[in-house]
Amino acid sequence: MTSRGVVGSQGGRHDESSGTAAPGAMSDSLAGAAGSDASAPLDASGARTGDGSASEEPADFDPARLHEWLDSDARDTRERVLVLLTSEPFRYVDPRDTLAYRETVLQWCRALAREGFGALAFPEEFGGANDVAASIAAFETIAYHDLSLLVKYGVHFGLFGGSIFLLGTRRHHERYLHDVATLALPGCFAMTETGHGSNVREIETTARYDVDTGEFVINTPSPDARKDYIGNAALHGRLAVVFAQLHTDTGDHGVHAFLVPIRSADGTVLPGVGIEDCGLKAGLNGVDNGRITFDTVRIPRDNLLDRYGSVSEGGAYSSPIDGAGRRFFTMLGTLVAGRISIACASLSAAKSGLTIAVRYTDQRRQFGPDGGVEVPVLDYITMQRRLIPRLATAVALDFALKSLVRSFAHRSDDDTREIETLAAAAKAWTSDWTVETLQECREACGGQGYLSSNRIGALRADTDVFTTFEGANHVLYQLVARGCLTEYRDQFGELRLWNVARHIAARAATRVAELNPITTRRTDIDHLLDPDFHDAALRYREDRLTASLARRLRQRIEDGMDGFDALNECQDHAVFLGRAFAERFILEQFHAGLRDCPDAPSRRILGRLAALFGLARIEAGADWYLETGYIDAPKSRAIRNAINDLCRELRPSAPAITAAFGIPEILLDAADPAIG
């Protein structure tokens, strides 16, 4: 397959990679950004083994050693998953036949279940491995394959099975977990409603306890209360975890989770249950999303997942947690694993896109000196700027997310709030960045990147909704901002919010006084590449934003404004703080992780990538840093030049860095070869 340039009205050739018009005759481009020579195997240095590569010089580190160290957590699980994903039954299929595609995705899920991957987080007595970290590693690795498989797998084993495990009690575990782990009982996670989206606390679906029969009656009281966008609902799900408002004769007790059968064993929809297919989506069409309604569906009392709230046979409600609010947020803690998993999967998708784009631009030649040969597109600083800082970010996120997974796997009750904040920040920032990165990768590959035979298009379409999964990102950033305010309040005891704000402001002012003579004017390269400078800049921004947000909220509340309205007026500020928190955390974890790297050449390349990531984040926030006086204009220009220099320095190593991701060649091939 070849692709020719588009002839413009003046007879010139419009180059698809650079976006500029070039005179002269048309020439063939590479046969697909991820196909032919562009997906040829890398040698030990990461250089292309075929002709036409610009990366003739070996990298100064071993990608295989770096990969081995980066993926050392749960390595056996990762390798086992990749062996399965690269086997013949997992070859990509044409997604245009939606029904066939969905059935293939179901069979892929069954194959993963047979190998025990779906049960990794469950206790050993129920067929699992009691290994949360390995479970997330499996999910992260599956994301190198078809993302419809990832989402269907995550809905069934993570959300549906995870809810039964975390919200249920032993009788639920004994009855259901084995069948969940083997996919003998396909399930759904029915939380989201049409009218309420992320506002789970206000969902309308009801579960009223009938003391005469000892049953709960599940009902959808209005069209807005239908369960919407529910994965596995349209075709395959037989049992749903349904979130509903629990009512007894003694009162209303807030949102709880119930097990509600929706289909019989032969796939027949059960009486009182209404199911509608959501239809074609912008991506992930191998997942059978559906809408569910309930018309007085009766379920046994034991179908209440009652770890945090139970109803006796006589209708008495009890809970080990005082207060509906605390109980609600404790139950929502089940989403933390999902948010961490989505962040990890987003990164895997971005790594795939970056690998394809770097390889293509390393070979794709356009323009050059008069009378000379055309040069690889990746030799242009504009292309390096598009891709190489994103390579650095991918590695930074690798460190940060693995650190978060380790913290989550070994958490204590005292860590819960901090991990919830980190999970929200990681999911929101990583999924936002992945969507932006895949767009850059598509554009970097020009017209070839727009072909269906290139995986980037499918990756871009499938990850778009990751910004909405497990909580819309702007909502999650506000959750992070609340966590920042709460942490400071707790640090300073029972001080009132404005006293905390005053203290933080004083601390920030002290830091400015100490650092301004250096940070605003110093432009020597040793300083610009100093990790302490990067850490201090991102930490200062977070501290100052926290202080100013606290101060703005305090002023409004003192003036008599309702707390909701006060936060609404400062919502953009809260979102900005949430992003700043995420970037500070990512950089800190990158610095902490690379210090532990045992291989000196790998540590050197990681140090340059860390410097690039840190400077790129400061440059991205240059307007704020200039506005607050943290840096001045000459320093801002010096940072820009330092980033350019780092991009040039790292350019020869870019293919080797992607090789360190360890993505099998077959998984980088076109997602739908029948179209190409």
pLDDT in tens, 598-625: 999 999 999 999 999 999 999 999 999 9
What pLDDT digit, counting tens, does each position of 370-407 carry?
Answer: 888 889 999 999 999 999 999 999 999 999 999 999 99
What is the DSSP secondary-structure string of 385-399?
Answer: HHHHHHHHHHHHHHH
* pLDDT interval class at 272 (50, 70, 90): very high
pLDDT band at 331 (very low <50, low <70, confident <90, very high): confident
d(CA 51, CA 444): 21
pLDDT at 275: 98
Q: What pLDDT was estimated at residue 442?
A: 97
Within 8 A by CB and 6+ apart from 542, the residues are 484, 577, 580, 581, 584
pLDDT digits (tens, 9 = 90+) for 311-321: 999 999 999 99
Provide the pLDDT for residue 505: 56
- The pLDDT value recorded for residue 333 is 73
Residues facing 533 on adjacent strands: none
Q: Where are the domains of the chain?
A: 71-181, 189-322, 335-659
86 has pLDDT over 90: yes
- By CB atoms closer than 10 A (0-12, 13-18, 19+), residue 633 is exposed
- Per-residue pLDDT, 557: 87
**Rounded mean pLDDT of 647-655?**
97
pLDDT band at 443 (very low <50, low <70, confident <90, very high): very high
Average pLDDT score over residue span 328-343: 87
Residue 493 in this model has a pLDDT that exceeds 90: no
C-alpha to C-alpha distance for 372 and 337, rounded to whole angstroms: 55
Mean pLDDT of 455-473: 94
Q: Which residue has the higher pLDDT, 558 or 37?
A: 558
pLDDT at 164 over 90: yes
Position 34 scores a pLDDT of: 34
The CATH number assigned to the domain with range 189-322 reads: 2.40.110.10
pLDDT tens digit sequence for 233-263: 999 999 999 999 999 999 999 999 999 999 9
The CATH code of domain 335-659 reads: 1.20.140.10
pLDDT at 221: 97
pLDDT in tens, 506-528: 555 545 544 556 667 889 999 99
Rounded to whole angstroms, the Cα distance separating 19 from 23 reads: 13
pLDDT of res. 327: 84
Q: Are 622 and 11 in contact (CB under 8 A)?
A: no
DSSP annotation of 86 reads T
Work out the percent of the chain whose per-residue pLDDT is above 90: 74
Of residues 469 and 588, the one with the higher pLDDT is 588
- The pLDDT assigned to 330 comes to 81
Higher-confidence position of 6 and 639: 639
Mapping DSSP to helix (H, G, I), strand (E, B) and coil, where does residue 230 land?
strand
Residue whose C-alpha is closest to residue 582's, from 418, 478, 372, 426:
426
pLDDT higher than threshold 90 for residue 673: no
H/E run at residue 156: none
Question: In whole angstroms, what separates CA 594 from the centre of its chain?
Answer: 22
Over the chain, what is the mean pLDDT?
87
Closest CA to 574 of 554, 544, 545, 537: 545
More reliable by pLDDT, 366 or 6: 366
- Residue-wise pLDDT for 194-245, tens only, equals 998 778 889 999 999 999 999 999 999 999 999 999 999 999 999 999 999 9
Strands 239-248 and 251-261: antiparallel
* Contact (Cβ atoms closer than 8 angstroms) between residue 393 and residue 432: no
| Residue 31 confidence (pLDDT) | 28
CATH 3.30.70.870 for domain 71-181, yes or no, is no
pLDDT score at 489: 60
Using CA atoms, how far apart are residues 343 and 423, in angstroms rounded to an integer? Answer: 8
Cα–Cα distance, 452 to 674 (Å, whole number): 9
pLDDT for 20 equals 32
Task: Report residue 24's pLDDT band, with 50, 70 and 90 as the boundaries.
Answer: very low
Q: How confident is the model at residue 675 (pLDDT cuts 50, 70, 90)?
A: very low
pLDDT at 127: 85
Question: What's the mean pLDDT in 575-590?
Answer: 98
Q: Judge whether 429 and 582 are in contact, CB under 8 Å.
A: yes
Task: Determine the pLDDT at residue 257.
Answer: 97
* Listed range (420-434, 473-487, 571-585) with the worst mean pLDDT: 473-487
Percent of the chain beyond pLDDT 70?
85
